[in-house]
Amino acid sequence: MIDMNPAGMIRTDAVKEIHAAVDGAMRQDDKRRRYVGASSIGSPCERKIQLEFMGDAHDEGWRFSARTLRIFQRGHVMESMSAVWLADAGFRLTQTGKNGQPLGFKVADGSFAGHVDRVITGGPADIAYPLVWEHKALGSKSWKALESRGLAKAKPEYADQVAVYQAYMDLTNPALFMAVNADTMEIYLELVPFDRVRAQSASDRAVGIIMDSRAGALRPRCTDDPTFYACSDCPFRKRCWGAAA
């Protein structure tokens, strides 16, 4: 007899089987980027950026968790939603150049590159156009930090990304940074003045990583603690920490 009591249906073997099937079907993009990306240059570990750039093998069996892959997808979906909200409000957004390629930059023989979420070319607000539009979908904790402390203090890695786009795409009007709180669907908007010093520092970091990679010199770990948050889902964790991983 089927147990129609909800409590009896919640974690049955059948439900666990469905859960495992959904998780197992999540597809990971295994395409490796052979450049230092603007979106990663502000991340805490230069060694991780370097090993990705050099195309080093990921740890055997390493894979993003299904939950993390869903968070990545959430970011793409929410970015598209936010772009529609802005367009509905009368802003003109573009994602590709005249050649149909994604808008972005590529320097140092293509070793340092990035693709901007959109460029806003016009709209009803009395601001300077064109400008970089950068978007993130965040959980409540990160979103609230952003709301109370602003981009540069709460999320310097994103501020680095924005500054690099502004510098290399020669779009130095204040950028529009937008974040959706994925839990409450509140939005955060900030106009980000061009920070030349920040852009230079991020660019110098990228050049240092590229030069060391060409010279065969490994960048230091970002921490002495293998339990540091950045190491938890790092594809080089075993290689980096050996038995301590």
State the Cα–Cα distance between residues 239 and 245, nearest whole angstrom. 8
- Compare residues 135 and 221 and give the one whose CB is closer to ligand SF4: 221
198 forms part of the interface with ligand SF4 (CB under 6 A): no
Pairing of strands 104-107, 175-181: unpaired
Give the shortest CB-119-to-ligand SF4 separation in angstroms: 32
User: For residue 76, what are the contacts with CB-CB under 8 A and spacing of at least 6?
Assistant: none
Task: Map the footprint of ligand SF4 across residues 67-86, applying CB under 6 A.
Answer: none
State the Cα–Cα distance between residues 166 and 33, nearest whole angstrom. 22
Pairing of strands 36-37, 187-192: unpaired
User: For residue 47, what are the contacts with CB-CB under 8 A and spacing of at least 6?
Assistant: 218, 219, 220, 221, 222, 236, 240
Give the shortest CB-230-to-ligand SF4 separation in angstroms: 4
Alpha helices for 106-221 (secondary structure H): 140-149, 151-154, 156-168, 196-215
- Compare residues 151 and 209 and give the one whose CB is closer to ligand SF4: 209
Q: How many CA atoms lie within 13 A of 232 on its CB side?
A: 6
237 forms part of the interface with ligand SF4 (CB under 6 A): yes
Give the shortest CB-199-to-ligand SF4 separation in angstroms: 24
234 forms part of the interface with ligand SF4 (CB under 6 A): yes
Task: Identify the three-state secondary structure at position 66.
Answer: helix
231 forms part of the interface with ligand SF4 (CB under 6 A): yes
205 forms part of the interface with ligand SF4 (CB under 6 A): no
Give the shortest CB-48-to-ligand SF4 separation in angstroms: 4
Binding segment for ligand SF4 among 10-18, 58-66, 71-79, 231-239 (CB under 6 A)?
231-239
Question: Which residue in 85, 58, 62, 49 sits closest to 178, CA to CA?
Answer: 85
53 forms part of the interface with ligand SF4 (CB under 6 A): no
- Compare residues 115 and 238 and give the one whose CB is closer to ligand SF4: 238
- Compare residues 166 and 213 and give the one whose CB is closer to ligand SF4: 213
Which residue among 36, 38, 41, 45 contacts ligand SF4 (CB under 6 A)?
Answer: 45
Strand order in the sheet with 36-37: 36-37, 112-115, 104-107
Give the shortest CB-52-to-ligand SF4 separation in angstroms: 9
132 forms part of the interface with ligand SF4 (CB under 6 A): no
Chain contacts with ligand SF4 (rule: CB under 6 A): 45, 47-48, 221-223, 230-231, 234, 236-237, 240
